[in-house]
A and B are shown apart, each in its own frame.
Chain A
Amino acid sequence: MLSIKNLHASIEGTPILRGINLEIKAGEVHAIMGPNGSGKSTLASVLAGREEYEVTEGEVLFQGKDLLELAPEERAREGVFLAFQYPVEIPGVSSTNFLRTAVNQVREHRGLEPLDAVKFLSLMKEKMKLVEIDQKLLSRALNEGFSGGEKKRNEIFQMAMLEPKLSILDETDSGLDIDALKVVSNGVNQLKSPENATIVVTHYQRLLDYIVPDFVHVLYKGQIVKSGTKDLALELEEKGYDWIKEEVESKATV
Chain B
Amino acid sequence: MSTLTTQDTFNSILESAPKNFTELRSKGKAQYLSQGLPALKDEEYKFTPIRKKIEQTISRFELAKSFEVNALDVKAAIFAGFEGSVLVFTNGKFIPELSSYDTTLTVNEITDQPDLPLGSIAKAEKDPFVGLNQAGFQDGIAISLPKKSKIEKPVLLLSFYKSNEGQVIQPRIWIEAGDFAEASFIDLSVSMDDSPYFVNKVVEIKGGVNSQLNYYRLQNEGKHVIEVSNTETDIREHSRFTSVNVSLSGDMVRNNLNLNLIGSNSEGNMYGLYLLNGKTHVDNHTNVDHTIPHAESNELYKGILADQSRGVFNGKIFVRQDAQKTNAFQQNNNILLSEDAIVNTKPQLEIWADDVKCSHGCTTGQLDEEALFYLRARGIDKTQAKGLLLYAFAGEVLEHIGDESFREYCIALVGDRLGSKF
Contacts and interface: CB of A to CB of B under 8 A. Distances in A.
Interface of A: 48-51, 71-73, 75-77, 81-82, 84, 87-88, 90-93, 97-99, 101-103, 105-106, 109, 141, 158, 162
B393 A92 contact: yes
A101 B388 contact: yes
Nearest to B390: A92
The 4 lowest CB-CB distance pairs between A and B, nearest first, are: A92-B392, A76-B379, A102-B378, A72-B376
Contacts of B389: 90, 93
19 contacts: A48-B377, A49-B376, A72-B377, A73-B379, A73-B382, A76-B379, A88-B370, A90-B375, A90-B389, A91-B392, A91-B396, A92-B391, A98-B378, A101-B380, A101-B384, A102-B380, A105-B380, A106-B379, A158-B378
B388 A76 contact: no
A105 B392 contact: no
A76 B373 CA distance: 11
Contacts of B375: 90, 93, 98, 102
Given A49-B376, A92-B392, 8 more contacts: A71-B382, A73-B385, A84-B374, A87-B374, A88-B374, A90-B392, A101-B388, A102-B375
A90 B391 CA distance: 12
A102 B381 CA distance: 9
Contacts of B116: none
Contacts of B371: 88, 90
A88 B395 CA distance: 19
A73 B381 contact: yes
A73 B374 contact: no
Nearest to A78: B379
Contacts of B388: 93, 97-98, 101
B392 A73 contact: no
B379 A93 contact: no
Given A73-B381, A106-B379, A50 B396 contact: no
- Chain A interface, >50% SS class: helix
Q: Give the size category of B's interface with A.
A: 20 to 34
Among A50, A72, A91: residue with most chain B CB under 10 A: A72
Contacts of A73: 376-382, 385
B379 A162 contact: yes
A249 to B, nearest CB: 35
A102 B388 CA distance: 11
A102 B374 CA distance: 11
A105 B395 CA distance: 23
B374 A162 contact: no
Contacts of A99: 378
Contacts of A51: 373
A70 to B, nearest CB: 11
Contacts of B378: 73, 76, 98-99, 102, 158, 162
Interface string B304-328: 0000000000000000000000000
A250 B396 CA distance: 59
B109 to A, nearest CB: 43
A72 B385 CA distance: 12
Contacts of A49: 376-377
A87 B393 CA distance: 19
Interface string B265-280: 0000000000000000
A233 B156 CA distance: 70
A154 to B, nearest CB: 11
B128 to A, nearest CB: 39
Contacts of A105: 379-381, 384
Nearest to A108: B379
Contact of B396 (A87, A90, A92): A92
Contacts of B395: 92
Contacts of A87: 374
A101 B379 CA distance: 9
Nearest to B378: A102
Among B376, B377, B396: residue with most chain A CB under 10 A: B377
A105 B298 CA distance: 39
A76 B374 contact: no
Contact of B376 (A71, A84, A92): A71
Nearest to A79: B379
A76 B376 contact: yes
B407 to A, nearest CB: 15
Contacts of B384: 101, 105
A77 to B, nearest CB: 5
A169 to B, nearest CB: 13
A75 B377 CA distance: 8
B377 A76 contact: yes
Contacts of A97: 388
Nearest to B387: A101
Contacts of B368: 88
Contacts of B382: 71, 73
Contacts of B385: 73
A76 B379 CA distance: 5
Contacts of B393: 92
Nearest to B393: A92
Contacts of A101: 380, 384, 388
